[in-house]
Structure 1
Amino acid sequence: MSMAINMPLGGLIDKSLKGEARFAHEEWLRTYVKRLTNGNKTKLKQALNEVDEAINQWRDGFFISTYDEKLSAVRQGKLNMDSQELEDVYNEETYLQKEGKTGLVADFLYNSIAQYGFINEHHRDAIESAWMFHDMEFLQQQWEYYALVQIRSLRAVIVSMLGTVPTIPETEPQNAKREPKRIEDYPEVFDITLCCELTNYAKDTIYKWTRTREIPCHRSGTNGRKLVFKRDEIVAWMTARKQETKDEFIKRMESQLAARLRK
């Protein structure tokens, strides 16, 4: 689809959010923004604000839907909720849908990410693990990365022309600087988010290790779809990794390579 270089910014934003601006490469975008603003800082800031507002409104159009999963779990006797509690969840989601918001479920997010294409096998393993353990936060984060890729390109060009450090739209979570926790400050059992914080590894890495059983973990919750970690086991695991000798490392790598070759 060809795009006119003189289209309104709102039109380009709309196409970008719909995934219809894939032909707008960086050079095209830079030419477009230059024609739109003439390099004027005030106009560039206005354009950036318009893009950020559109991103925030797009994000606000979705919510995590849990009703169907909870209803199924209740019917199977795996979740204790009375009829009023279920009805409250249903009514809340119905209200959000009437407002024009779209409910997100794990299957939709997984399939959408798969259609965009996995980056590599490591990424595939992480997404499959997140789907298995119903980590909606991680799945939504990964889905948004793909869904917003075109408008992020537009935003990056505007920011570069402004000559400022790119800031994150207000609705996007930011990692505030905090004092590091002591090990004893962590609960005895925690989820993958705290596991990442304690071990200083990314979620996709932890998910990969849970699949290959390289890190101690446990399943709990409905259908065993909640992934939890025990503090003492993780601390022992971290200590063992730090104490691994060079010979032990080589032996472990050779063992993993041999296992791959046998597949």
Structure 2
Amino acid sequence: MILTLKTPLEQLIGKLLKGEVTALSEKRLYLYVENLTNGDKGKLRQALKDIDDMVAKWKDGYFISVYEERVIAFNRSKLAITPQELDDIYHEENYLLKSGKIALLVDYLYESIAKYGFINEHHQDAVESACFYHDMEFLRKEWECLVLAPIMSLRDIVCSMLGMGCDTPKSESQTSSRPLKRIEDYPEIFDLGTCCELTGYAKDTIYKWTRTKEIPCHRSGTNGRKLKFKRDEIVEWLTARKQETKDEFIKRKESELASRYIYNNL
């Protein structure tokens, strides 16, 4: 579908969510919004509400399926769950499917992301690693980001015409009043998110290094899909990369953490 200036907003959003709209430049989107609302503040506010409502409805239309994974884990005696609990999961997911919701599985998310196209080879590597480790949350976020990108661009244009910011919700790190962290405040064993916070590297970078064994890590959970990191090993690894003594590294890292905290709370 090619966007025309007379395309109803609901139809446009629906096509965007299905990836059926092509040739969407920012200029084209601006002209579309201008034609849709004539710059009228009331119409712009209604358009913003409609966009948010349709995105929320779309997000409510799917769920992460866990039944198949838990059956496999149960059969391999790697999950403490009863047959009755498995049946309950099956019936719950079957009910959601019958109600019209989409079950998000690893293969579905990978194929959907691949359809939109990987940003670069590192992005592809991160997605493939997430598939291997069954990191459904990472895959879901990547998929949502790709699907919603043109809709968020449309939303930003509406906000700019209203004279508003994009009012993106602040992350926990931006709103938290937690005390400054020191290296010793980190748990001895932590997950991928904490590893990213401590090292300052992005999630896809850490994923890549776990696959190439460039960073010390440990696997746990079903089929070893969950990544765990030991604080002391990561500190030693970072120290070696920076060619610093351990004390120098800790002093520098705590200074960075303090600066990050101050910046996020300005």
Check whether TM > 0.5. Answer: yes
- Matches of 1:92 and 1:4 in 2, distance apart? 41
Counterpart mapping for 1:1-263 below 5 A: 1-168=1-168, 174-177=171-174, 178=176, 179=178, 180-243=180-243
Q: Structure 2 counterpart of 1:156, which letter? A: D
Q: Structure 2 counterpart of 1:229, which letter? A: F
Q: Structure 2 counterpart of 1:199, which letter? A: T
Is the Cα contact below 8 Å between 2:3 and 2:22 reproduced in 1?
A: no
| Number of equivalences | 242
- Matches of 2:87 and 2:185 in 1, distance apart? 38
TM-score (normalizing by structure 1): 0.84
Q: Structure 1 counterpart of 2:157, which letter? A: V
Deviation at 1:223, TM superposition (A): 1.2
* Per-residue CA distance 1:86-119 (angstroms, 9 max, x = gap): 1222222223223321111112111221222211
| Structure 2: gaps of 5 or more residues | 246-266
Q: CA RMSD in A?
A: 2.0
Change (3 A) 1:166 1:241: same
User: Which runs of structure 1 show a deviation greater than 4 angstroms over 4 or more consecutive aligned residues?
Assistant: none
Is the Cα contact below 8 Å between 2:67 and 2:90 reproduced in 1?
A: yes
- The secondary structure found in structure 2 opposite 1:63 is strand
- Matches of 1:176 and 1:51 in 2, distance apart? 27
Is the Cα contact below 8 Å between 1:195 and 1:229 reproduced in 2?
A: yes
- Matches of 1:73 and 1:184 in 2, distance apart? 35
- Matches of 1:92 and 1:33 in 2, distance apart? 41
Is the Cα contact below 8 Å between 1:125 and 1:211 reproduced in 2?
A: no
Deviation at 1:81, TM superposition (A): 1.3
Change (3 A) 1:132 1:28: same
TM-score (normalizing by structure 2): 0.83
